[in-house]
Structure 1
């Protein structure tokens, strides 16, 4: 059995890699005023740049998952560290025009995919099965943590020494990831096995799961992007709206870890829990649309704590039925998350501009219901497949 310090260090390393992968777009968002002033571009071009980050991550995750399975944990970590270092240093040193900045964000999108999938592989191969739920919960808590890092980067670094330094620090963190790879065992033997044919996850169930992930991610990322603006619209001060956002993000971190811990105490049934969380999230979105400050506080906390605590649990569930193709299965799921992350806020913003915030929140709730339905269909297919091809542990 893995010793506790080693168990914790593996979880924290995976969480740190996930944070490093996700944080560039939040650094860009939090410091957009500085970056746009320096490089002379408008809000529309800012949105395009952020979408390029997510789009490149989605493509890399979809196509690169199997490569991670082939490369193994050590070599994948080296590759991820190199990409993160190059992208971060590039943003800090050579991004003196909009075009170069977008190119660096695309590179950082590739790094995000590599870091995410490699950390998934690390947890699936180095963490005992009875602790993987907690491990994936800790890992996915890194995303709201990255949002918090993006926010505090403005007063602590960006406003003092310039936005480029924040990306330079991220590049240095990439060097640390690269260095950490040389402490990992050479898994050349593990790379020889490539899962094909009947041992691959069921294609139909995976496709439904990826679609469900994309639809749900579109809704919850819109929550993260617009809840503060909606709070201001209904009468909150900017400080109160920021506090609401911080409270939701902080509690979401705790909820994701707790959700993962509880998953380790169950023997399966994780997709059913995810579906229930999405249904609760849909109701929270409807309550958010009411537009009163007390309702907004309660509904937003519920949306963050229950409606957005499922990513780690869904990832854990998919990895468990991945049949040895951890990189390919988790890569496809991460691609769905990236597509939803890119498309959701853009579509939500368009909907707000053509209708209203209340209508947009209700549509977001409808998307959560759709995601729950897609995952319910996927769960049925996974169960049918498991009846024919039981997992061997």
Structure 2
């Protein structure tokens, strides 16, 4: 009897999975480092190129907006040309754009235009890394691998912060972008190589539960928009409550470190569970919403607890979401994660813009409460998307298998009866408990 497992590709373990994960991580760092450099060097850039904090917010929004628009096309490019080619193209684009910023960015419009160009490299690198981890890391280590990769994003903020005293205040901010270009070029030799994993296009389309992925993407938009606010406005909000700028900056550093460790820990724990990963994401968003709610209070203890909860739970879920989506779409992991990643990038674009406007008009306390409510709504949508995925799995398990391809039988050949899939089975990557609710990623 045929079942869904016969057409499910298994990950082909890399001979050196640690190197594969490291390469995916540094490729991700290279893609996000440009926007964090803009934020970290905002004082020097603003003084020379004459733009305000509002101009900084617009530049960041352009970066994430372009990333959102390019996410799905990037996934298609990875599926067509393979992750190795696309990852190298991403690194070359980063290097070229960073050198251009260092050489020709003499005005704010030119800076924003170059940031929009380098934003194309971000989804290219992310999708290539997702495909590499999905196909070349053993299933029992994929949760940790996605957690480590996503930890590269808060690590990028640490690198950008270090660039201020090490480079910008010594030899000038332009050399920080030269250093970023050199880093991108230095990563090229470690890009993993190997055979491309390609599936039949019709089968890839059939494996994607697009409606459910869109629901998860919308949840990602709300969650990422709220979480980005914690990184964008935390320092200014804490300073407005009377905290010294130095202590406010330490709060942000604490949040970034907690977020980095939490992303790795959540990935490690995911490898030790048989399912329920989207439920875990929803629970993390609920706790993170509580942390954002605490940020509207004035006592320092409430701020510290709120920062820890908001960063450790409300901004540590992207790796787990990617892992869950890959587990449920082994035929087309890149295309599937490109849909959900679009939502995350859209949140990075729209969240700071919308919540920043709200803070200007109604104040930071109201803004934090609205951000908390949006994150709670994201948790609910995450559960809705999970239920839609379960329904898609059941329909897929119950649908008959197509007849096997074979030459047209001759007059003496008996007619072949198409084999039917056994109902109730789920892909091999999922535990065969007989209960899809307990097995879904």
What RMSD in Å do the two structures reach over aligned CA positions?
1.8
Matched, 1:152 2:162: yes
Change in CA separation of 1:269 and 1:192 when aligned onto 2, cut-off 3 Å = closer
Count of residues in Structure 1 that have an aligned counterpart in Structure 2: 389
Q: Alignment partner for residue 247 of structure 2, among 213, 223, 240?
A: 240
Distance 1:254 1:195 in 2: 40
User: Structure 2 matches for 1:298-313, cutoff 5 A?
Assistant: 298-313=305-320
Partner of 1:324: 331
Distance 1:307 1:67 in 2: 31
1:101-132 alpha-carbon deviations (Å, 9 max, x no partner): 22211111001111111111111111011110
The 1:75–1:195 alpha-carbon spacing in structure 2 relative to 1, beyond 3 Å, is: farther
Once residues 81 and 150 of structure 2 are traced to their aligned partners in structure 1, the CA distance between those partners, rounded to angstroms, is 23
Q: After superposition, where does 1:248-327 map in structure 2 within 5 Å?
A: 248-327=255-334
Q: Which residue of 2 aligns with 1:391?
A: 427
- Quick check: 2:30–2:91 contact (8 Å CA) kept in 1? no
Q: Closer, same or farther in 2 for the Cα pair 1:193/1:179, shift >3 Å?
A: farther
Structure 1 residue ranges, 4+ long, deviating more than 4 angstroms after superposition: 1-4, 195-198
Matches within 5 A, 1:1-393: 2=13, 6-181=16-191, 184-187=193-196, 190-191=197-198, 193-194=200-201, 196=203, 199-389=206-396, 390-393=426-429
> What secondary structure is seen at the aligned counterpart in 1 of 2:215?
helix
Q: Is the 8 A contact 2:44 2:173 kept in 1?
A: yes
Q: Shift of the alpha carbon at 1:345?
A: 1.1
- Partners of 1:178 and 1:144 lie apart in 2 by 22
- The alpha-carbon deviation at position 197 of structure 1 amounts to 6.2
**Range with bigger deviation, 256-265 or 329-338:** 329-338
- Whether the aligned pair in 2 keeps the contact of 1:92 and 1:167 (CA below 8 Å) is yes
For structure 2, the residue ranges without an aligned partner over 5 or more in a row are 1-11, 397-425, 430-441
Q: Is the 8 A contact 1:199 1:323 kept in 2?
A: no
Q: Hey, what does 2:434 align to over in structure 1?
A: none
Q: Cα deviation per residue 1:153-188 (whole Å; 9 max; x = unaligned)?
A: 11111111111111111112222233334x61253x
211-220 or 62-71: bigger deviation: 62-71
CA distance in 2, matches of 1:209, 1:161: 45
User: For residues 194 and 201 of structure 2, what CA distance do their matches in structure 1 show?
Assistant: 19
TM-score by length of structure 1 reads: 0.94
- TM-score between both structures, scaled by the size of structure 2: 0.84
Q: Distance in 2 between matches of 1:341 and 1:72?
A: 27
Which has the higher Rg, Structure 1 or Structure 2?
2
Structure number with the higher helix fraction is 1
- CA distance 1:109–1:161, change in 2 (3 Å): same
C-alpha distance in structure 2 between counterparts of 1:165 and 1:384, whole Å: 53
SS at the partner of 1:41?
coil
Offset at 1:98?
2.5
Deviation readout 1:2-47 (Å, 9 max, x if unpaired): 578x222211111111111111111101111211222233333332
Unpaired runs of 5+ in structure 1? none
CA contact (8 A) 1:70 1:192 kept: no
User: What secondary structure sits across from 1:232 in the alignment?
Assistant: helix
